[in-house]
C-alpha cells in the first residue's frame, strides 16, 4: 500500500457552490422519453403517463436543472408540435437519430414533470432549421404571463401560469457536420448574437448559452470559440462545452486519467473567452456551461446499426451498460467540474434514462441504477456551501495518452453544517491517505462511502440490478487528521459533521 497526504484549507475557495453544476439533460432520443421517463401503460404511470418509479430515481439522483429537448434533436424540432391536444399532435421524422417523434411529450408535460423533481427547466431553441422569430415565439409561449396571443394560447392549453425559464441554449453543436443546419463559426456567431439580442429585448433577465465546440478534438476547437464570441459576446452569458470519454483498446490507465483532457478543454475555453473579453475591453466574464458530459462508448455505437434508415418510434439506441471502472472515471469528471467551478457554473449530465444514462428501464418492467448513478447522487447530496481546492501530495501514475497523473485526486466542499471530501484513486493498488482537516473544525464522520470492486468490469443489469453499489469506506478521524484507505481504482466520499 502506498500513501498520500492532503491538506484542506477553508480559505482556499474555488467558488460558492452553484447547484446548477448538478444539472441533467433529456433529449428526444432512443428510449429516453418514450419507454423511459414516459410510459402511459406501465403499472407505475401517473395521470400524465410518467413512470413514478423513474421519477423517484431521478429525484434521488439530485439533478438541479434539466436541459431539454436536445441535443441534436433540437436542430429539427418544431416546438408547436408538442403543445395542445395530444390527439391532434403530428408525427414527425427526426433526422438527427432517424426515428419517428410522436410529440406525445412536449414542453408543458415535461415542465410539469420537472415540478415533481424540484428541478429547473433549461430550454434549447432551434437555430438549425429555424431562427429568431421561432425563438421569440417559444419564449413568449413559455414565459409571458398573459394578454398576448401565445401566452393566451398556453392558457387555452391548460397552463395559465408561465414556466419562467431563465436559462436558454442558442442551438446545439452548430460546429458539427452531423448537425442539421450546421454553420461556420462566423455565421453561427451572427445568428446567435441576433437571437440573443432579440430574446433579451423581450426579457432582460435571461441567461443565454452560446454553442462552443462539440469537443476538444474538433479541428476548429479554440478558433470556433474565439470567432463565435467575437460576434456574440455582448448578448450571451455562457459558452457551452461538450465532452464524452470511453476506454479504448484496453488502455485502462489512460482512461482513468481522462480528467486531464477535461481540464485542458476547460482551461482552453477560459483562456479564449478571456482573450475576447480583454480585446473588447468588456467588464463581463463569460462562464462555461458544460451542458453535455458523460461516459459514452461512441466508437462502438458508430460501428453498429443502431442509427439506420428505418423510421421507428423509440428504438433502442445508445444504451451503454456501465462498469465499475466507468463509474470511477465518471466520478473523476464530476470532481473536475467542481475543481473548475470558478468558471464552470453550470453542467448537464448527458443523459438521464436509458440513453448513456445512470438509470435504466425495461418496458413494462423495473427501473434500476447503473454504476454511474452513485457518484452523482452522493456528490449532489453531500456538496454544499463553498468548493475548496485541497493540496495533494501523492505518487504519480503513467499513461500512454496523458503521461503522468497524480494517483490521488481530491476536491472538497464546506458548508455551515457539514463538509464533504471527494477522492479518486486511479492507481492499481490501495492508498492510505492522511487529510489535514484542522481548519474545517469538524469533529465526526457522518458518512463514508466508496465505489470499488475487485472486478472492474462488474455492471448492474436487468438480471442483476444490484450487483454494484456503494460500500462503507475505511476512515477514522482524530485530532484534526482524517485517515482513509482508498481501494485500488476507486471513488470515495466522506461527509464530516
Where residue 357 sits, what CATH number does that domain have? 3.20.20.80
Catalytic choice (140, 173, 225, 447): 173
pTM for the model: 0.97
Residues 423 and 305 in one domain: no
pLDDT of residue 306: 87
Domain end, chosen from 382, 403, 426, is at: 382
> What's the confidence (pLDDT) of residue 484?
98
Q: Please say which residue of 356, 382, 408 terminates a domain.
A: 382
**Which of 349, 382, 415 is at the close of a domain?**
382
180 with 319, same domain: the answer is yes
Does 173 qualify as catalytic in the annotation?
Answer: yes
Q: Is 89 left (phi over 0), alpha (psi -120 to 50) or beta?
A: beta
Report pLDDT for 29. 98
CA–CA separation, 208 and 59 (whole Å)? 26
Number of domains in the chain: 2
Q: Are 394 and 362 contained in the same domain?
A: no
| Domain match, 340 and 447 both | no
Report d(CA 231, CA 492) in Å as an integer: 43
- Which structural domain range is residue 461 located in? 2-9+388-496
pLDDT of residue 244: 98
Model pLDDT, residue 308: 83
Q: From first to last of the 497 residues of the chain, give the pLDDT tens digit.
A: 899 999 999 999 999 999 999 999 999 999 999 999 999 999 999 999 999 999 999 999 999 999 999 999 999 999 999 999 999 999 999 999 999 999 999 999 999 999 999 999 999 999 999 999 999 999 999 999 999 999 999 999 999 999 999 999 999 999 999 999 999 999 999 999 999 999 999 999 999 999 999 999 999 999 999 999 999 999 999 999 999 999 999 999 999 999 999 999 999 999 999 999 999 999 999 999 999 999 999 999 989 888 888 999 999 999 999 999 999 999 999 999 999 999 999 999 999 999 999 999 999 999 999 999 999 999 999 999 999 999 999 999 999 999 999 999 999 999 999 999 999 999 999 999 999 999 998 999 999 999 999 999 999 999 999 999 999 999 999 999 999 999 999 999 999 99
Phi, psi of 240 (to 5 degrees): -85, 155
Q: Which of 292, 339, 447, 487 is catalytic?
A: 292
Integer CA distances (angstroms), 59 to 259, 284, 324, 468, in order: 27, 34, 23, 20
User: Looking at residue 161, what is its pLDDT?
Assistant: 98
Give buried/exposed letters for 164-180 (b at 16+ CB in 10 A, else e). ebbbbbbbbbbbbeebb
Q: What order of strands is seen across the sheet that includes strand 99-101?
A: 92-94, 99-101, 312-313
Has 292 been annotated as catalytic?
yes
* One domain for residues 185 and 299: yes
Give the integer Cα–Cα distance in Å for 207 and 214.
Answer: 20
Question: In terms of domains, do 88 and 209 share one?
Answer: yes
Residues 372 and 401 in one domain: no
Q: Do residues 113 and 247 both lie within one domain? A: yes
Task: Kindly state whether residues 324 and 453 are assigned to the same domain.
Answer: no
- DSSP letter (8 states) at residue 82: G
Element (H, E) at 132: helix 132-143
User: Phi/psi class of residue 113: alpha, beta or left (left: φ > 0; alpha: ψ in -120 to 50)?
Assistant: alpha
Same domain, 98 and 245: yes
Q: What is the CATH number of the domain that holds 463?
A: 2.60.40.1180
Same domain as 453, residue 359: no
Residues 437 and 323 in one domain: no
Amino acid at each position: 500500500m502506498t500513501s498520500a497526504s492532503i491538506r484542506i484549507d477553508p480559505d482556499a475557495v474555488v467558488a460558492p457552490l452553484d447547484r446548477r453544476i448538478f444539472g441533467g439533460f433529456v433529449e428526444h432520443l432512443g428510449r429516453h422519453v418514450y419507454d423511459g421517463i414516459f410510459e402511459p401503460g406501465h403499472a407505475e404511470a401517473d395521470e400524465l403517463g410518467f413512470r413514478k418509479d423513474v421519477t423517484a430515481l431521478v429525484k434521488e439522483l439530485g439533478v438541479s436543472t434539466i436541459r431539454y429537448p436536445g441535443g441534436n434533436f433540437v436542430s429539427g424540432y418544431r416546438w408547436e408540435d408538442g403543445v395542445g391536444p395530444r390527439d391532434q399532435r403530428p408525427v414527425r421524422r427526426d433526422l438527427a437519430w432517424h426515428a419517428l417523434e410522436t410529440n406525445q411529450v412536449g414542453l408543458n408535460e415535461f415542465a410539469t414533470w420537472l415540478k415533481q423533481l424540484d428541478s429547473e427547466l433549461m430550454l434549447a431553441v432551434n437555430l438549425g432549421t429555424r431562427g429568431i422569430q421561432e425563438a421569440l415565439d417559444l419564449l413568449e409561449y413559455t414565459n409571458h404571463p398573459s394578454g398576448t396571443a401565445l401566452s393566451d394560447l398556453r392558457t387555452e392549453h391548460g397552463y395559465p401560469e408561465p414556466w419562467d425559464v431563465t436559462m436558454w441554449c442558442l442551438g446545439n453543436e452548430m460546429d458539427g457536420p452531423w448537425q442539421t443546419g450546421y454553420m461556420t463559426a462566423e455565421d453561427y456567431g451572427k445568428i446567435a448574437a441576433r437571437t440573443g439580442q432579440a430574446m433579451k429585448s423581450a426579457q432582460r433577465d435571461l441567461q443565454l448559452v452560446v454553442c462552443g465546440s462539440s469537443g476538444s478534438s474538433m479541428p476548429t476547437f479554440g478558433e470556433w470559440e474565439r470567432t463565435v464570441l467575437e460576434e456574440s459576446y455582448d448578448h450571451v452569458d455562457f459558452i457551452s462545452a461538450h465532452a464524452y470519454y470511453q476506454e479504448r483498446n484496453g488502455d485502462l490507465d489512460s482512461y482513468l486519467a481522462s480528467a486531464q483532457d477535461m481540464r485542458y478543454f476547460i482551461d482552453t475555453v477560459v483562456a479564449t473567452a478571456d482573450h475576447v473579453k480583454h480585446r473588447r475591453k468588456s467588464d463581463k466574464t463569460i462562464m462555461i456551461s458544460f451542458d453535455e458530459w458523460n461516459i459514452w462508448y461512441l466508437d462502438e455505437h458508430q460501428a453498429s446499426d443502431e442509427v439506420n434508415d428505418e423510421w421507428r418510434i423509440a428504438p433502442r439506441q445508445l444504451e451503454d451498460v456501465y462498469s465499475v471502472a466507468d463509474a470511477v472515471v465518471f466520478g473523476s469528471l464530476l470532481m473536475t467540474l467542481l475543481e473548475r467551478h470558478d468558471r464552470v457554473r453550470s453542467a448537464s449530465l448527458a443523459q438521464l434514462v436509458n440513453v448513456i444514462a445512470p438509470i435504466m428501464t425495461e418496458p413494462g418492467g423495473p427501473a434500476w441504477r447503473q454504476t454511474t448513478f452513485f457518484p452523482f447522487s452522493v456528490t449532489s447530496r453531500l456538496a454544499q456551501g463553498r468548493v475548496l481546492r485541497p493540496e495533494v501530495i501523492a505518487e504519480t501514475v503513467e499513461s500512454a495518452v496523458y503521461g503522468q497523473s497524480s494517483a490521488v485526486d481530491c476536491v472538497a466542499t464546506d458548508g455551515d453544517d457539514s463538509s464533504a471530501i471527494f477522492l479518486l484513486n486511479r492507481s492499481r493498488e490501495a492508498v492510505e491517505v492522511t487529510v489535514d482537516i484542522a481548519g474545517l473544525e469538524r469533529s465526526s464522520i457522518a458518512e463514508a462511502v466508496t465505489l470499488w470492486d475487485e472486478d472492474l468490469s462488474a455492471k448492474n443489469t436487468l438480471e442483476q440490478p444490484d450487483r454494484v453499489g456503494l460500500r462503507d469506506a475505511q476512515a477514522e478521524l482524530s485530532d484534526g487528521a482524517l485517515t482513509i484507505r482508498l481501494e485500488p481504482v476507486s471513488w470515495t466520499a466522506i461527509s464530516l459533521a
